Amino acid sequence: QVQLQESGPRLVKPSGTLALTCAVSGGSISSSNWWSWVRQPPGKGLEYIGDIYHSGSSDYNPSLKSRVTMLVDKSKDQFSLILTSVTAADTAVYYCVRWAGDDAFDIWGQGTMVTVSS
Amino acid sequence: EVVLTQSPGTLSLSPGERATLSCRASQSVGGNYLAWYQQKPGQAPRLLIYGASKRATGISVRFSGSGSGTDFTLTISRLEPEDFAVYHCQQYGNSPITFGQGTRLEIK
C-alpha cells in the first residue's frame, strides 16, 4: 500500500523560501503516476499547486508558476516543492498527493501545516 | 481556468436522510474527469468518486456520482453519522486542475 509523508520546516519568514519533501513508501515514484502538491489555507478550500512525473516533466498552476519549482529524486523515491517569495497568504496545510491519471487523486499524505510569519 | 461552484454551501440533514450535493462547472469538463472528495476535520481529503460516477476502492455503495459536461451531482443515499463532513469536487480534465469551494454537510 503506497503511503506519502510530507516533511519540512513548519515556519518560514516572509519573503523567504518554503521547501517541502514528500517521501513515497510502499511503491516506486517511477510508477505511471503523477505526483502532486495541493494546499489548503486555514478554513478555506483546496488549491492545486502543480505536479511532476518521474521523468522530471512538470506542470504548475499559472497562479503560482512564477514562484514554484518541483523536483523528483528517483533514488530516494521522493519529490519536492519549492515556493519562493512567500507571504502570509501562503500559510496553509500542504498535502502531497498521488495523481493516478484517470483515477484522480487517490492517495494523500497526512498534510503539514506551514506558517509564514516573522 | 474551469471554475467549479458547489451548492449548497452548507447542507443540514438528519441521519437516514438522502443528501444531494451539486457541482457546476464554468465550462465543460474534459472527459468528464470530475472527482469528489470527503474531508473530516484535521484529516486529508479522501477520494470517493472519480470519472464523475466511479466509486473509489472501499467506498460504500451509498455514495454515487452522476452528471456530465458542466453539471455533476454527488448523492449519499442514507446518511450515516460518519458521513457528516466537508465534500469537495475537483475537475482534472482541463488544465489547471481546480477544486470547488466545498459543501459542508452537518447534522440537523
Read out DSSP for A3-58?
Answer: EEEEES-SEE-TTS-EEEEEEEESS-TTSS-EEEEEEE-TTS--EEEEEE-TTS-E
Residues of A in contact with B45 (CB under 8 A): 46, 95, 105, 108
The C-alpha atoms of residue A54 and residue A32 are separated, in whole angstroms, by 8
Is B95 in Cβ contact with A59 (below 8 Å)?
yes
B70 interface with A at CB cutoff 8 Å = no
* pLDDT for the residue numbered A76: 95
In the block, which residue shows the cell 500500500?
A1
Among B residues 4-43, those touching chain A with beta carbons less than 8 Å apart: 31, 33, 35, 37, 43
* pLDDT for the residue numbered B73: 98
Is A106 in Cβ contact with B45 (below 8 Å)?
no
Model confidence pLDDT, tens digit, residues B16-62: 999 999 999 999 999 999 999 999 999 999 999 999 999 999 999 99
* pLDDT for the residue numbered A32: 84
Model confidence pLDDT, tens digit, residues B2-21: 999 999 999 999 999 999 99
Model confidence pLDDT, tens digit, residues B32-43: 999 999 999 999
**Residue A47, all three cell numbers:** 488549491
A105 interface with B at CB cutoff 8 Å = yes
Q: Cβ distance B47 to B35 under 8 Å?
A: yes
Is A62 in Cβ contact with B90 (below 8 Å)?
no
Q: Cβ distance A79 to A30 under 8 Å?
A: no
Please determine, for residue B96, whether its predicted confidence score (pLDDT) is greater than 90. yes
Instruction: Quickly state the pLDDT bin for B99 (edges 50, 70, 90).
Output: very high
Residue of A3, A48, A65 to mutate, interface with B, max B Cβ within 10 Å: A48
**Nearest C-alpha of chain B: how many angstroms from A45?**
5
* pLDDT for the residue numbered A110: 98
Please determine, for residue B82, whether its predicted confidence score (pLDDT) is greater than 90. yes
The C-alpha atoms of residue A19 and residue A9 are separated, in whole angstroms, by 7
Residues of chain A with pLDDT under 50: none
Burial group, residue B70, by CB count within 10 angstroms (0-12, 13-18, 19+) = middle
A108 → chain B, closest CA residue = B44
A105 → chain B, closest CA residue = B47
Residue of A105, A110, A113 to mutate, interface with B, max B Cβ within 10 Å: A105
* pLDDT for the residue numbered B28: 97
In the block, which residue shows the cell 519529490?
A79
